[in-house]
A = this chain, B = another copy of it.
Amino acid sequence: MDRKQEILLAANKSFSLFGYKATTMEQIAKIANVGKGTIYNFFENKEVLFQEIVLHMIEEMKQEAIHVIREDAQFQENAHAALMKMLEFRETHQLYAKIIDEEKQWKTPAVKHVIGQVEQAIVSFICEKIDKYVQKGEIRQVNAELVAYLLLKAYVAFVNDWNLTHDNSLSEEEIANFFQDTIFRSLAI
């Protein structure tokens, strides 16, 4: 099998298991059954290799988001489903969970950077959906980027942060209804 793939696979496994910092190039080489030097024939350095892995993860996340979208549904339903699915990734996807931990604990710059990329990818994705629904005439013409950013931040606030400071945790339905009643309501024609 092609060595680049082996390396990517090994790197993915190791980053997912141990995070960025705790993964060594030697570790990856061993899992991939190659010499350490070989990795550098395919990837400029550790960070570039990591980028590649994260890009792949973003693609996975996008696919899962696309998967929960129903063409015939209203914007609100689709946006809610997609955002929830992507936020779910934070807990269910090993690599994503690991790097979120790492960012909090060590603030590794490389990790901080890719988390920014993931966030940007989510915003872009939502942005596209907004544009599409504006085209369809189902929602008002708005600054899609600002709305997408607001939606992401609002969802993160209610899904991840609310529980940290409040005892009465919110069910997904309560969250859906609340946003239905506020942000989404404001987008209706």
Contacts and interface: CB of A to CB of B under 8 A. Distances in A.
Interface of A: 116, 119-120, 142-143, 146-147, 149-150, 153-154, 157-158, 161-162, 165, 178, 181-183, 185-187
Contacts of A146: 158, 178
Contacts of A150: 154, 157-158, 178, 182
Contacts of A149: 157-158, 162
A149 to B, nearest CB: 7
B161 A153 contact: yes
Copies of this chain, whole number: 2
A157 B182 CA distance: 17
A26 to B, nearest CB: 32
A178 B186 CA distance: 11
Contacts of A158: 146, 149-150
Contact of A181 (B116, B120, B186): B186
B153 A157 contact: yes
21 contacts: A120-B165, A142-B181, A142-B182, A146-B158, A146-B178, A147-B182, A149-B157, A150-B154, A150-B157, A150-B178, A153-B153, A153-B154, A153-B161, A154-B154, A181-B186, A182-B183, A182-B187, A183-B183, A183-B186, A185-B186, A186-B186
Contacts of A120: 165
